[in-house]
Structure 1
């Protein structure tokens, strides 16, 4: 492993779009920007940032709606573009022409959007347990075909209301299956793994800003199963396929090399996700499921792979690595293995 003694500094950075709280390692070197996912913050990357080799400068922002960055509404009708534009504004403020990005879960969606809009700013892209290019929920095959015309079963109304309320209450208990601590330990990672910085990571989860404008967002009622369709504001709507689609990444010319790292036992982003209404309906956990023909489990991994195969056919380069006995957060669960994949990629693309 690399030297783990690098110091992480926390700083507020005013940009043209919003004030960003960020974790920083080093002042010089090629920039590496770490982008967290849903219901977390830059704190999820702190331990990894400490292992960043000399010659690299680490930047991990709290994205809007999370951590201690300024609260501003997420306009979900732009998909992930609010986040992509926030990242671009941060790069401009720091005078960074290009960076390698390391993006986790929903963060991968943010950076795939940035790559589509501004490929010249992305020197390389590491996506960890990435959000499907067709968003989260509401699609039924590897091509991202909608289950319903209104994309019912995705968006702000799909968040578990007890989990949302416990987030809002800053609940640290283990009394319910839907407590933030139990969701983190049971779904963000593969049990029985427990991170040594569990309390700090739980702080990060609980720093999620709960509202209709941020997390999980608003929703609309639907006549289609399961009865809710995407709204127009907030994180879960920004991930909904009504507004979010980065499958055009496959058509990029001279796009960034991409390293895709995922856990074999991911409970969140998979073809059998415990957070997907199609799979939950098939399990009998949500009544009224209309069946496989109308609403099968969303094949999230298969969707990503098909887009990546199209990317490769168009001249792009990607590599998929599956870590066994690993859940949704390989960089936390298999730190050495993740580090050993990351560093050669950084060294190859720091230009």
Structure 2
């Protein structure tokens, strides 16, 4: 089944979406450096199960275009886009699936507009409460000891130029480094001073890999060759602003039904989600219905373990529907 493509009017621009199937909506939210296509293998499986599967290019990515404003890449702004998408398809609510930045986005959506969320299915990035101080302060402290992409990306124009000069090479190297075939935290062995991201990332083996084809990478690279990475990097540069805008949710719990799956070799679970990510998740998401560890999988778990992830997503959707009845 081929995806249909169209545009949805959002505040300050228009959002490109790919979709398949008919039925209750399931909306997939990507991260960095991805586009809608990172969910391409999930759309058909979810559509075949009787759902309307929708994957947008989020702000800053692919064919989505928005007017540049101070808060145009905050989670609050993108939550507005997702609500506009629900209104566009005439849906009161949907199930939202998220990975990476898309995971943080759907967690925040569940806080800001729980009445529009039937449930969330999150990959690799567990819910965590708002930190006591702006995130960039924590990153700067860590970057005094070793290279940290979160800190490096804060410098406007620096990573933009470096990564934009070789989009395909960067994508191959970062995707490989985040997979189960490499230990991403080895990038921390490099000093921060005078180091670029490509200096710390490993060389990627020739394609195809066991989980990514040359055609997949070509499709993903094509968009970034057109747009560059500045739009995606703007999400990193908005994280302190997200922190400011979520003051009212500092002690909030996610109350919608939630399902969580993660790779046993995911770098976010190992190095970026605190000392006890699953304990924190359970403490703040009272309707957490399932937690599944997937063996031999890294960050792009839906590509590395496509059939297993598709089966879990469909099972979780059916569980949601059965309990709702």
CA contact (8 A) 1:133 1:245 kept: no
Q: Confirm or deny: 8 A CA contact 1:251 1:310 kept in the other structure.
A: no
- After TM superposition, the score normalised by the length of structure 2 is 0.75
1:331 to 302, 313, 322: 302
- Tell me the residue number matched to 1:264: 264
Question: TM-score, normalized by length of structure 1?
Answer: 0.70
Matched, 1:180 2:199: no
> Where in structure 2 are the equivalents of 1:118-157 lying within 5 Å?
118-130=113-125, 133=128, 144-146=131-133, 150-153=137-140, 157=151
Shift of 1:256: 1.6
Residue ranges of structure 2 left out of the alignment (5+ in a row)? 141-147, 183-208
Q: Which 10-residue stretch deviates more, 198-207 or 316-325? A: 198-207
CA RMSD of aligned residues (A): 3.3
Shift of 1:334: 0.4
SS at match of 1:64: coil
Q: Is the 8 A contact 1:134 1:244 kept in 2?
A: no
Distance in 1 between residues matched to 2:253 and 2:23, nearest whole Å: 28
Residue-pair matches, total: 283
Compared with structure 1, are the counterparts of its residues 72 and 149 closer, same or farther at alpha carbon in structure 2 (3 Å cutoff)? Answer: closer
CA distance in 2, matches of 1:105, 1:14: 25
Once residues 73 and 306 of structure 1 are traced to their aligned partners in structure 2, the CA distance between those partners, rounded to angstroms, is 38
Q: Which has the higher helix share?
A: 2
Cα distance in 1 for partners of 2:247, 2:29 equals 17
1:35 is aligned to: 29
> Following superposition of structure 1 onto structure 2, how do residues 275-314 of structure 1 map, counting pairs within 5 Å?
298=272, 300=273, 302=275, 304-312=277-285
In 2 relative to 1, CA 69–99 (structure 1 residues): closer, same or farther, beyond 3 Å? same
1:195 corresponds to = 212
Whether the 8 Å contact between 2:27 and 2:97 is mirrored in structure 1 is yes
For 2:106, the equivalent position in structure 1 comes to 111
- Give the drift of 1:188: 5.2
The answer as to whether partners of 1:163 and 1:180 remain within 8 angstroms in 2 is: no
Aligned in 2, Cα 1:205/1:305: closer, same or farther, shift over 3 Å? farther
Alignment-derived partner of residue 169 in structure 1: 165
1:108 and 1:130 in contact (8 A); partners too? yes
Q: 1:162 to 1:303 in 2, by over 3 A?
A: farther
Structure 2 residue aligned with 1:18: 13
Distance 2:49 2:108 in 1: 29
The worse-fitting range, judged by mean Cα deviation, of 339-348 and 198-207 is 198-207
Cα deviation digits, residues 35-63 of structure 1 (max 9, x gap): 10122110101121122224200111100
Question: Helix, strand or coil for the counterpart of 1:37?
Answer: coil
**Structure 1: unaligned runs, 5 residues or longer:** 1-5, 136-143, 174-178, 217-233, 273-297
Task: Work out which of the residue numbers 78, 87, 101 in structure 1 matches 2:96.
Answer: 101
